[in-house]
Amino acid sequence: MTLTTWAGNYAYRAPQVASPRTVDELQEVVAGARHVRALGTRHCFNDLADGPGTLVSLEGLAPDVVLDEAARTVTVTGGTRYGTLARHLHAAGWAVHNLASLPHISVAGAVATATHGSGDASRNLSSAVAALDLVGPGGELRHVARGDADFPGAVVALGALGVAARVTLDVEPTFLVAQEVHVDLPWSAALDRFDELTASADSVSLFTDWTGDAVQQVWRKTRVADGAHALRADLLGARPADGPLHPLPGIDPVSCTQQLGVPGPWHERLPHFRLEFTPSNGDELQSEYLVARAHAVAALQAVRDMSAQVAPVLQVSEVRTVAADDLWLSTAYGDARVGLHFTWKPLQPQVEAVLPALEEALRPFDARPHWGKLFADVDRDLARLYPRWDDFRALVARTDPDGVFRNDFVDRHVLRG
């Protein structure tokens, strides 16, 4: 059977796949291989995780959840899914600060690619990392913790420094969230009052196809302190949805998390989709570009101006905000960002034909592409977008001098030149 990304758009070419059941076995696999790349839940759309030697699947490692209430941290194996971790934490009265729209993704994979949830005050998932246990090129286990000199470069590392056997995350007391959906937000309000809109809840997502005079849906997630939540009747001209909705028009919302302002546990509201359901409406492709918050409105307008090119190959777009962090290759390094996410139809040649023009339109805003999603893969000058780029390259050279964890993706986008 051919091993592919979860969307099936990329088939891995590595000649061998190992599935260790313990961290000791993982170390043995790495120690015995010339080239190694790690696989989580394969929620990726490019060749980031592929390589010329052995692929190591982390899905066989038991979660091994270790909660340290005194330190306010939790440690899990790298292949643990966020949804699995969330259930353990909530049962014990704890939570992580945020979740991505899909609870199905692995902790190590999300961390390595700066994958994120959303919210003006919420940093991406990688920012919650307190420590990593990395299996190095000789199979040795190396502990890297917040405060270490290399730590800001080791968290979002694209798998180039080793395999994340265990990840330690910050936790906080569990909390409730209420989710509301509003429809038909006038684009004029979205652009003129963007800051007010994204500040209207702890997490705000705009779903649009970039056509017409209105944003089709606005999903708002609000922390609830006392179990009660006051519904918002009007949202800058948008009206409350009269029932649960899926981001895609006409699709049964049964796979979506509870809406209509009903308070519930954080892990059952912060994602858009429920853990029990397959995380897709069907075949799809994804791209995402994160622009500096200061350029948000101009970037939104630039994409609207391209609607005639974008809409024919698009299922839906999501616009969301992310707070700044200090992780060298994070797409939110140094300043707050606005993510422009594109869920494309499964038409890869047509999508790839649109991407160069889309990226050219976003170039004035120094848009950083999501590492695990599709972006134009020719002559990309990503170094100019990351102030600590040379520091990361030097870290890779020191940590993996023989290139055990290098692959075509890392060579093309990070180490060339």
Nearest-angstrom CA–CA distance, 127 and 146: 10
Q: Are residues 185 and 303 both part of a single domain?
A: yes
Contacts with 28 (C-beta within 8 Å, 6 or more apart), sequence order:
20, 139
pLDDT value, residue 149: 95
Q: What is the CATH number of the domain that holds 316?
A: 3.30.70.2520
pLDDT of residue 62: 94
Instruction: Tell me the two tokens of residue 21.
Output: 């059941």
Per the domain annotation, does 383 fall within a domain? no
> What does the pLDDT average to over 197-218?
98
Same domain for 254 and 291?
yes
Contact call for residues 23 and 166 (beta carbons, < 8 A): yes
Residue 377 has pLDDT above 80, yes or no: no
| Domain co-membership, 320 together with 195 | yes
Do the strands 172-173 and 163-170 form a parallel or antiparallel pair, or are they unpaired?
unpaired
Do 100 and 244 sit in the same domain of this protein? Answer: no
Per the document, the length of the chain is 417
280-339 tens-digit pLDDT: 555 899 999 999 999 999 999 999 999 999 999 999 999 999 999 999 999 999 999 999
- Residues 356, 298 share a domain: yes
Domain total of the chain: 2
**Domain membership flag for residue 376:** no
Per-residue pLDDT at 173: 98
In a domain, 43, yes or no: no
The answer to whether residue 46 sits within a structural domain is no
Task: Classify residue 187: in a domain, yes or no.
Answer: yes
- Average confidence score pLDDT of the chain: 95
Give the pLDDT band (50/70/90) at residue 1: low
Six-digit token pair at 284?
A: 């799809």
pLDDT exceeds 70 at position 147: yes
415 found inside a domain: no
217-258, pLDDT tens digit by residue? 999 999 998 878 999 999 999 999 999 999 998 899 999 999
The domain boundary, picked from 174, 190, 220, lies at: 174
In a domain, residue 33? The reply is: no
Whether residue 189 is found in the same domain as residue 227: yes
State the average pLDDT over residues 268-290.
Answer: 87
pTM of the model: 0.96
Is 417 among the domain residues? no
Print the domain residue range for 107: 66-174
Using the 3D structure, point to which of 331, 349, 369 is the last residue of a domain. Answer: 369
- Examine the domain organization and report whether 193 and 163 are in the same domain: no
Q: Give the end of a domain, one of 158, 174, 190.
A: 174
* % of the chain surpassing 90 pLDDT: 91
CATH classification of the domain holding 126: 3.30.465.10
Q: What is the pLDDT confidence band of residue 278, given thresholds at 50, 70 and 90?
A: confident
Mean pLDDT of the region 58-82: 97
- Of the two residues 379 and 339, the one the predictor is more confident about is 339
How many degrees, rounded to 5, is the angle at CA 357 between CA 218 and CA 287? 45
Residues 165 and 308 in one domain: no
Q: 208 with 351, same domain?
A: yes
Closest CA to 55 of 9, 88, 87, 17: 17
Q: Is 416 helix (H, G, I), strand (E, B) or coil?
A: coil
- Residues 8-18: b if buried by 16+ CB within 10 A, e if exposed: ebbebebeeeb
Answer positive or negative: Cα dihedral of 26, 74, 109, 61: positive
For residue 30, what pLDDT is reported? 98
Q: Are residues 200 and 123 in the same domain?
A: no
When pLDDT is averaged across residues 147-157 and rounded to a whole number, the result is: 97
- The per-residue pLDDT for 280 is 59
Same domain, yes or no: 215 and 283: yes
pLDDT at 379: 66
Are 105 and 243 contained in the same domain?
Answer: no
User: What is the structure's pLDDT at 279?
Assistant: 63
